[in-house]
Amino acid sequence: APTHTGQLARFLARTSGEEYDAISRLWINARHLSRYRPVLRDRVARQEAAWRGRLQDLIEDGVEAGEFVTDDPLTVAVQLLVLLDGLGVHANTATPERPAAVLRMPLTTAERELGLRPGTLDEAAG
């Protein structure tokens, strides 16, 4: 079975690139429209809670297994999701260039917040 570190690395790898940017554009529209449509608002809120919950569960499992170190898995999950949302919003700007350090911010943050050595998630992603 893959390690929790490997699962996190795979999750973060899937949340970058052109395909994910397209999903981010869809989510920006869904979030905007949900302000005016109660049924959509409920669906968006449930999907976001599920997304946050799965990431928090992964972090909690990694802590239990001794792979991650944090006293607050929810805060780490939210930090990562905020970074991913920010990168998704940036994909919609007229300046699509993103320096490598900016693209790596979710990895850098996860490594720092979970007590992982810098580069660990790159190595785990293969």
| Nearest of 5, 121, 119, 124 to residue 63 by alpha carbon | 5
Report how far residue 3's alpha carbon sits from residue 95's, in angstroms, rounded to the nearest whole number.
36
At 17, the amino acid letter reads G
| Nearest of 20, 14, 11, 10 to residue 88 by alpha carbon | 20
Report the pLDDT value the prediction gives residue 22, as an integer from 0 to 100: 81
The DSSP H or E segment spanning 2 is none
Report the pLDDT value the prediction gives residue 11, as an integer from 0 to 100: 93
Per-residue burial over 49-65, b = 16 or more CB atoms within 10 Å of its CB, e = otherwise: eeeeeebbebbbebbee
Dihedral (C-alpha) 94, 99, 101, 107: value to the nearest 10 degrees?
60
pLDDT tens for the 126 residues of the chain, in order? 589 999 999 999 988 877 887 888 888 889 899 999 999 999 999 999 999 999 999 999 999 999 999 999 999 999 999 999 888 888 777 776 788 898 899 999 999 999 999 999 999 987
Report the pLDDT value the prediction gives residue 62, as an integer from 0 to 100: 98
Report the pLDDT value the prediction gives residue 1, as an integer from 0 to 100: 52
Report the pLDDT value the prediction gives residue 89, as an integer from 0 to 100: 84
Report the pLDDT value the prediction gives residue 74, as an integer from 0 to 100: 97
Report how far residue 69's alpha carbon sits from residue 95's, in angstroms, rounded to the nearest whole number.
36
Q: What is the pTM of this model?
A: 0.89
| Nearest of 45, 89, 55, 105 to residue 75 by alpha carbon | 55
Contact 15, 106 (CB under 8 A): yes
At 77, the amino acid letter reads A
